[in-house]
Structure 1
Amino acid sequence: MPQEAPWFLIVGVLLMFVALARGPIARLPLTGAMIYLVAGVIVGPGVLGLVQADLAQSVRTLTVVAEAGLVVSLFSVGMHLRVRLRDPLWRLPLRLGALAMLFSVALMFAFAWATGLPAGVALFLAAALAPTDPVLANELRVHEAGDADPVRFALSGEGGLNDGAALPFAVLGLALCGVSTPGTQGAWRFALALVWGVAGALLIGAVLATLCVRLVLHLRTRYGEAVGLDGFIAIGLMSVTYGAALLAHAYAFVAVFAAGVALRHAELRATGEQRRPTQELETVQLGEREEVATDPRRAHVWLAEGMTGFTLEIEHFAEFSLLLIIGCVISAHWRDMLEPHALVIALALIFVVRPLAVMGAMIGARANGQQRRLLAWMGIRGVGAFYYAVWGIDQAGDTLQPVLAAALDAIVISVALHGSTAGYLLARYYRRARQTA
Structure 2
Amino acid sequence: MEIVIWFIVVGALLIAMALGGSVLKRLPLSTSMLYLLVGFALGHFGVGQLDPYAQKKLLETLTEVAVIISLFTTGLKLRAPLRAPRWRIAVRLAGVGMVVTVGLVATAGVWLLGLSLGAAVLLGAVLAPTDPVLASDVQMEHPFQRDTLRFGLTGEAGFNDGTAFPFVMLGLGLLGLHPLGEGLWRWVAVDLVWAVVAGLGVGTLLGGAVGRIVLYLRRTHREALGLDDFLALGLIALSYGVALLLHAYGFLAVFAAGLALRRIEKQSNKGRPPEDVVQSARVHPEAATDPEHAPAYMANAVLNFNEQIERIGEVSLVVVLGLLLSRLPLPSEALWFTPLLFLAIRPVSVLVSLVGSDTTRPQRGLMGWFGIRGIGSLYYLFYALNHGLPEALAHQLVPLVLTVVAVSIVVHGISVTPLMQRYERTQSEEDTAQA
| Equivalent-residue separation in structure 1 for 2:61 and 2:4 (angstroms) | 25
The CA deviation at 1:344 is 2.4
The CA deviation at 1:66 is 0.1
The CA deviation at 1:285 is 7.4
| Equivalent-residue separation in structure 1 for 2:342 and 2:264 (angstroms) | 37
1:301 matched to 2:296 = yes
| Equivalent-residue separation in structure 1 for 2:388 and 2:359 (angstroms) | 41
1:357 matched to 2:349 = yes
CA contact (8 A) 2:208 2:260 kept: yes
Distance 1:80 1:354, change over 3 A: same
Distance 1:267 1:3, change over 3 A: same
The CA deviation at 1:282 is 2.7
The CA deviation at 1:3 is 3.0
1:190 matched to 2:175 = no
The range that moved more, 184-193 or 110-119, is 184-193
| Equivalent-residue separation in structure 1 for 2:291 and 2:361 (angstroms) | 45
The CA deviation at 1:396 is 2.1
1:392 matched to 2:384 = yes
| Equivalent-residue separation in structure 2 for 1:406 and 1:256 (angstroms) | 29
The answer for the alignment partner of 2:229 in structure 1 is 231
The answer for the alignment partner of 2:428 in structure 1 is 434
Distance 1:298 1:185, change over 3 A: farther
| Equivalent-residue separation in structure 2 for 1:293 and 1:37 (angstroms) | 39
Using the size of structure 2 for normalisation, the TM-score is 0.95
The CA deviation at 1:279 is 3.7
The CA deviation at 1:404 is 1.4
**Where do residues 68-87 of structure 1 align in structure 2 (5 Å cutoff)?**
68-87=65-84
| Equivalent-residue separation in structure 2 for 1:164 and 1:12 (angstroms) | 34
| Equivalent-residue separation in structure 2 for 1:310 and 1:244 (angstroms) | 23
| Equivalent-residue separation in structure 1 for 2:409 and 2:231 (angstroms) | 32
CA contact (8 A) 2:75 2:257 kept: yes
The range that moved more, 262-271 or 19-28, is 19-28
CA contact (8 A) 2:76 2:143 kept: yes
The answer for the alignment partner of 2:320 in structure 1 is 325
Deviation digits for residues 31-84 of structure 1 (CA, Å, limit 9, x no counterpart): 10000011111111xx11111112222100000000000000000011001111
| Equivalent-residue separation in structure 2 for 1:412 and 1:29 (angstroms) | 16
The range that moved more, 393-402 or 239-248, is 393-402
Partner-residue secondary structure (3-state), 2:373: coil
CA contact (8 A) 1:80 1:145 kept: yes
Distance 1:347 1:230, change over 3 A: same
**Where do residues 6-405 of structure 1 align in structure 2 (5 Å cutoff)?**
6-44=5-43, 47-115=44-112, 116-181=114-179, 184=181, 186-193=183-190, 194-276=192-274, 279-282=276-279, 289=285, 291-333=286-328, 335=329, 338-397=330-389, 398=391, 399-405=393-399
Partner-residue secondary structure (3-state), 2:195: helix
1:420 matched to 2:414 = yes
The range that moved more, 266-275 or 318-327, is 266-275
- What RMSD over aligned residues (CA atoms) do the two structures have, in Å? 1.5
Distance 1:173 1:24, change over 3 A: same
- Amino acid corresponding to residue 169 of structure 1 in structure 2: F
Deviation digits for residues 128-186 of structure 1 (CA, Å, limit 9, x no counterpart): 000000000110111111111000000000000101101111111111112134x5554
CA contact (8 A) 2:281 2:297 kept: no
- Amino acid corresponding to residue 355 of structure 1 in structure 2: P
The CA deviation at 1:275 is 2.1
Deviation digits for residues 199-234 of structure 1 (CA, Å, limit 9, x no counterpart): 111110100001101111111111111100101000
CA contact (8 A) 1:29 1:419 kept: yes
| Equivalent-residue separation in structure 2 for 1:351 and 1:283 (angstroms) | 45
| Equivalent-residue separation in structure 2 for 1:185 and 1:382 (angstroms) | 34
| Equivalent-residue separation in structure 2 for 1:119 and 1:285 (angstroms) | 54
| Equivalent-residue separation in structure 2 for 1:213 and 1:401 (angstroms) | 45
CA contact (8 A) 1:342 1:402 kept: no
Structure 1: tracts of 5 or more residues without a match: none
- Amino acid corresponding to residue 86 of structure 1 in structure 2: R
CA contact (8 A) 1:172 1:184 kept: no
| Equivalent-residue separation in structure 2 for 1:274 and 1:199 (angstroms) | 32
- Amino acid corresponding to residue 370 of structure 2 in structure 1: M
| Equivalent-residue separation in structure 2 for 1:273 and 1:326 (angstroms) | 45
The CA deviation at 1:402 is 1.9
| Equivalent-residue separation in structure 2 for 1:220 and 1:56 (angstroms) | 49
| Equivalent-residue separation in structure 2 for 1:400 and 1:5 (angstroms) | 33
- Amino acid corresponding to residue 84 of structure 1 in structure 2: P
Identity of aligned residues (%): 37
Using the size of structure 1 for normalisation, the TM-score is 0.95
Deviation digits for residues 96-146 of structure 1 (CA, Å, limit 9, x no counterpart): 111111100000000111121111111100100000000001101111111
Distance 1:74 1:405, change over 3 A: same
Distance 1:284 1:239, change over 3 A: closer
The CA deviation at 1:272 is 1.7
The CA deviation at 1:283 is 5.5
